[in-house]
Amino acid sequence: MIPAPFQYHKPASVAEAAELLKKHGSDAKILAGGHSLIPLMKLRLAQPEVIIDIGSIESMSYVQERDGGTAVGGTTHYVDIANSSIVPTALSEAAAQVADVQVRNRGTIGGSLAHSDPAADLPAALIALKGQIITSSTGEHRTIESNEFFQDLFTTSLREDEIISEIFIPSESSGTGSAYVKFANKASHYAIVGVAASVTIAGGKCTEASIGVTGAGPAAYQASASVSDLIGSNLDNADVEKASSKAGEGVEFNDDVHASGEYRAHLVTVFTERAIKLASSRAG
């Protein structure tokens, strides 16, 4: 299948891309790795009139240590995040489990977050790590907390004129471990359910925790009830089981050909437990 015709722009910088996006408004679509957008265009489910290709803006692809955390450029490929030794484990582990080698060589972190597929891996990791999404529009930057970014099915708080230029992940407190585990669709490897956890242990007790869940509902979310249960606990089996049983609280579960809502609810509990245990084993 061949996409419908479109006008093609290849800006040399984020600023130039933002200008083009402002000029063309809702007729335009940003193209990064193209591994969500091009399949949609081939099936003609998307027919943008203007494509703004940011995929080869070199200054947008990096993983860097910064004051207080790690910065990842908006078009950094999964493969470079998976191989990075400086991003927290939950993020590199999530990137390493996206799809297959070919997709990981092309797909980008910004594209994954902006697309907000309910089965995407990176949103869960970003929520667990309390990452921030930094956007650029003409003459302006905005910082959005990951907790507020993923709003609904394929819906984020990104404005039409904004480009994700960077992702910032705050440094982990000492004694923190993180992990991402998923139950993958065997064909596409999309997450039927995926859970990222970050756990901080001090003096034998859990002092901080954060849990991102993907695949379960319309968009990735923070499992707040589980987190409240974990903090202050000793993280023994009973604590973890009880906290995990609350990870699907209030969620309207996806129910489709891959898994029923009831099955997803079960998976959320099981995979939250595994993520917490793996993160805890790396903490302290």
Partner 1 sequence: MGQTVTVPITLTVNGKQHSAEVEPRLLLAQFLRENLSMTGTHIGCDTTSCGACTVIIDGGSAKSCTILAVQANGSEITTVEGLADGDNLHPIQEGFWEKHGLQCGFCTPGMMMSSVALLNENPNPTEDEIRHGLAGNVCRCTGYHNIVLAVQYAADKMKS
Ligand X SMILES: Cc1cc2nc3c(=O)[nH]c(=O)nc-3n(C[C@H](O)[C@H](O)[C@H](O)COP(=O)(O)OP(=O)(O)OC[C@H]3O[C@@H](n4cnc5c(N)ncnc54)[C@H](O)[C@@H]3O)c2cc1C
List of residues contacting ligand X (CB under 6 A): 29-37, 39, 74, 98-99, 103, 107-108, 110-112, 114-115, 117, 120-122, 163-164, 188-190
State in angstroms the smallest separation of the CB of 256 from partner 1.
16
Nearest CA-CA partner of 175 in 145, 198, 158: 198
**Dihedral over Cα of 124, 126, 128, 134: its sign:** negative
Nearest CA-CA partner of 110 in 139, 68, 66, 149: 149
Q: Which does 8 bind (CB under 5 to 8 A by kind): ligand X, partner 1, none?
A: partner 1
State in angstroms the smallest separation of the CB of 7 from partner 1.
7
Q: Which is nearer to ligand X, 37 or 128 (CB)?
A: 37
Q: Which does 74 bind (CB under 5 to 8 A by kind): partner 1, ligand X, none?
A: ligand X
Query: Which residue type occupies 224?
Result: S
Q: Which is nearer to partner 1, 6 or 62 (CB)?
A: 6
Helix residue ranges per DSSP H, 35-154:
37-42, 78-82, 89-96, 101-106, 109-115, 122-128, 146-149
Q: Which does 115 bind (CB under 5 to 8 A by kind): ligand X, partner 1, none?
A: ligand X
State in angstroms the smallest separation of the CB of 21 from ligand X.
9
Nearest CA-CA partner of 255 in 267, 242, 244: 267
Q: Which does 200 bind (CB under 5 to 8 A by kind): ligand X, partner 1, none?
A: none
Q: Which is nearer to ligand X, 19 or 121 (CB)?
A: 121
Query: Which residue type occupies 76?
Result: T
State in angstroms the smallest separation of the CB of 3 from partner 1.
4
According to DSSP, the β-strands at 50-53 and 7-9 are parallel
41: left (phi over 0), alpha (psi -120 to 50) or beta: alpha
Nearest CA-CA partner of 202 in 90, 283, 278: 283
List contacts with partner 1 (CB under 8 A): 1-8, 10, 31, 34-35, 38-39, 41-43, 49, 51, 53, 55-56, 79, 99-103, 105-106, 187-189
Q: Which is nearer to ligand X, 114 or 201 (CB)?
A: 114
Contact 196, 129 (CB under 8 A): yes
Q: Which does 121 bind (CB under 5 to 8 A by kind): ligand X, partner 1, none?
A: ligand X
State in angstroms the smallest separation of the CB of 284 from ligand X.
30
State in angstroms the smallest separation of the CB of 43 from partner 1.
7
What backbone torsions phi and psi does residue 173 show, to the nearest 5 degrees?
-65, 160
State in angstroms the smallest separation of the CB of 2 from ligand X.
17
Q: Which residues pair with 83 in a beta bridge?
A: none
Q: Which does 43 bind (CB under 5 to 8 A by kind): partner 1, ligand X, none?
A: partner 1
Instruction: Report the alpha-carbon distance of residue 160 to residue 150 in Å, rounded.
Output: 15
